[in-house]
Amino acid sequence: MDKLKIAIQKSGRLYEDSIKLLKDCSIEINIGIDKLKTTALNFPLEILFLRDDDIPQYLEDGVADIGIVGKNVLLEKRKKINIKESLGFGKCRLSIAVPKSLIYKNINDLNGKKIATSYPFLVKKFFRKKCIKSDIHEISGAVEIAPGIGLADCICDLVSSGSTLFMNGLKEVETILKSEAVLAANINLTFSKKIIMNKLLFRIRSVKQAKNNKYILLNAPNKQLQSIISSLPGIKNPVILPLSNSKFSSVHSVINENDFWKIIENLKSLGAKDILVIPIEKIIL
Ligand code: ATP
Ligand code: ZN
């Protein structure tokens, strides 16, 4: 049987979450000592461990069929590949940062400044759109030290908490891209590989749905049953079961993580009791 080849980062910020995603999709893998590639035990998948920067090229060339990589890398490399799904991890932003001491009012303050970055294409595009003259210096790592050693006036780099910038005496002033890990694919997959990829995507979407939702069980006073049901926006038809106490019913539903506390407060104010909230492993819709 044909196997789908997935490229993931060999080590670094995306490695753990990429492996966890496969595990959450019930794909079993044994990672050998050399960690160059491995085969899944219960799914037609071969896993290639690569540097993240190389993944777009391998996907374009068909060396790998699909891959997990930051959107930032994909957009910078501009290869002919398809983005199939955002994965909700590896979240960061590509931002411009300047020395803390610089008084920054607006983007015009960047005019003519020397800017160090590993993302020359995205930075150039951003400045062109804003009609700002830029002097871009491409460097491949440790971008944040560039202003301190006199290599550039400011930088454009990936930021998540901002602590690295802070430690290097910099402040974030403009965000040029919001990024997260995505699943990307070669554009000419064979029919049988597409079938495997769609099976994997189906599992990934079920895992993602489950992560954003919680299963909720509660006891509702029958007098308030309709108001309680209408305050539960989750799954279309909640389960309603009678209880031995005929004044109450048991209500089961699914609620979204983002609205969680607002919904719980509302339910309590409507008289809901004994509310249980349970994590969900997968949601198949
Ligand atoms: P490699 O050795 O594979 O080339 P790397 O050092 O280039 O690794 P990492 O620092 O591990 O890459 O980052 C991989 C990806 O993680 C980034 O391209 C980005 O999509 C994401 N990421 C999330 N948060 C951050 C952050 N704060 N800084 C850098 N990358 C981040
Ligand atoms: Zn890299």
Ligand 1 contact via 118 beta carbon (within 6 Å): no
Task: Name the one residue in this structure whose structure tokens are 């049953």.
Answer: 225
Tell which wins on pLDDT, 82 or 31.
Answer: 82
Percent of the chain predicted with pLDDT > 70:
99
In this structure, the residue with its CA closest to atom 18 of ligand 1 is 70
The torsion angles phi and psi of 129, rounded to 5 degrees, stand at -60, -35
Q: Which of 158, 170, 178, 182 to mutate to test the pocket of ligand 1 (most atoms within 8 A of CB)?
A: 158
Q: What is the mean pLDDT of the chain?
A: 94
pLDDT at 23 over 90: yes
Tell which wins on pLDDT, 70 or 141.
Answer: 70
How far is Cα 141 from Cα 54, in angstroms, rounded to an integer? 15
Ligand 1 contact via 52 beta carbon (within 6 Å): yes
Give Cα separations from 97 to 81, 103, 108, 140, 209 (angstroms). 30, 12, 14, 17, 35
Q: Among the atoms of ligand 1, which is closest to the Cα of residue 91?
A: 23
The torsion angles phi and psi of 78, rounded to 5 degrees, stand at 50, 50
pLDDT score at 31: 86
Q: What is the mean pLDDT of residues 185-205?
A: 98
pLDDT score at 234: 62
pLDDT score at 201: 98
Tell which wins on pLDDT, 235 or 10.
Answer: 10
Q: What is the mean pLDDT of residues 260-270?
A: 92
* Residue range 77-132, pLDDT digits in tens: 999 999 999 999 999 999 999 999 999 999 999 999 999 999 999 999 999 999 99
Looking at beta carbons, which pairs linking 140-143 to residues 24 or more positions away fall under 8 Å? 143/116, 143/117, 143/118
Range with the poorest average pLDDT among 17-26, 28-37, 231-240: 231-240
Which residues have C-beta within 8 Å of that of residue 9, sequence separation ≥ 6? 15, 18, 49, 50, 51, 52, 55, 68, 69
How far is Cα 21 from Cα 15, in angstroms, rounded to an integer? 10
* Residue range 119-158, pLDDT digits in tens: 999 999 999 999 999 899 999 989 999 999 999 999 999 9
Q: Which two tokens stand for residue 122?
A: 């995205």
* Residue range 206-239, pLDDT digits in tens: 999 898 899 999 999 999 999 999 888 766 678 9
In this structure, the residue with its CA closest to atom 29 of ligand 1 is 158
User: 4-90+181-210 sits in which CATH class?
Assistant: alpha beta
Ligand 2 center–CA 9 separation, angstroms: 9
Q: What is the mean pLDDT of residues 27-33?
A: 88
**Which of 177, 158, 181, 179 has the alpha carbon at shortest distance from 66?**
181
Q: What is the mean pLDDT of residues 242-253?
A: 94
Distance of CA 234 to the CA centre of its chain: 22
pLDDT at 33 over 80: no
Looking at the domain 214-279, which fold is it? Alpha-Beta Plaits (3.30.70)
Ligand 1 center–CA 92 separation, angstroms: 9
What strands lie across the sheet with 181-186, from one edge to the other? 37-39, 45-50, 4-9, 66-70, 181-186, 81-86
Ligand 1 contact via 50 beta carbon (within 6 Å): no
> How many CB atoms are closer than 10 A to CB 151?
14
Q: What is the mean pLDDT of residues 158-167?
A: 94
Counting ligands in written order, the one closest to the CA of 142 is: 1
Ligand 2 center–CA 172 separation, angstroms: 22
pTM of structure: 0.90
In this structure, the residue with its CA closest to atom 11 of ligand 1 is 12
How far is Cα 23 from Cα 117, in angstroms, rounded to an integer? 35
Counting Cβ atoms within 10 Å, is residue 78 exposed (0-12), middle (13-18) or buried (19+)? exposed
pLDDT score at 34: 73
Is 92-179 in the same CATH topology as 4-90+181-210? Answer: yes
* Architecture of the domain spanning 92-179: 3-Layer(aba) Sandwich (3.40)
Burial letters 16-29, b for 16+ CB under 10 A, else e: ebbbebbebbebeb
Q: Which sequence spans correspond to the domains of the chain?
A: 4-90+181-210, 92-179, 214-279
